[in-house]
Amino acid sequence: ETGVTQSPTHLIKTRGQQVTLRCSSQSGHNTVSWYQQALGQGPQFIFQYYREEENGRGNFPPRFSGLQFPNYSSELNVNALELDDSALYLCASSLDRGTYNEQFFGPGTRLTVL
């Protein structure tokens, strides 16, 4: 069974640029959630995708957007990068979208915005 994978592992961008982060869900999982973890804090929910549709969103501006593909992999796109976007971005997959489903996390992408 393949776990959750993310790419790239590290990324450096400058303010105003755009970035795309990628996530492959665990085998058999159809739901992907994205979280942002600032240094020294717990992860914050960005949004969730279920069967290619957004299925819930946290308190993040519209410049954070996403996609889910038919194979349930997902992308997180961030436009007009700001310095505060520097963080560890974590992707989690679950068997289904219900609240009772355990979420499993990937290794994360560390984004630095200069």
Q: Which of 18, 105 has the CB closer to other proteins?
A: 105
Closest distance to other proteins from the beta carbon of 49 (Å): 11
Give contact residues for other proteins (rule: CB under 8 A).
Answer: 31, 33, 35, 37, 41-45, 48, 55-56, 58, 88, 90, 92, 97-105, 107-108, 110
Q: Position 61: which residue type? A: P
DSSP string, 46-94: EEEEETTEEEEE-S--TTEEEEE-TTS-EEEEE-S--GGG-EEEEEEEE
Residue given tokens 């400058």 in the structure block: 14
State the nearest-atom distance from the C-beta of 67 to other proteins, in Å.
18
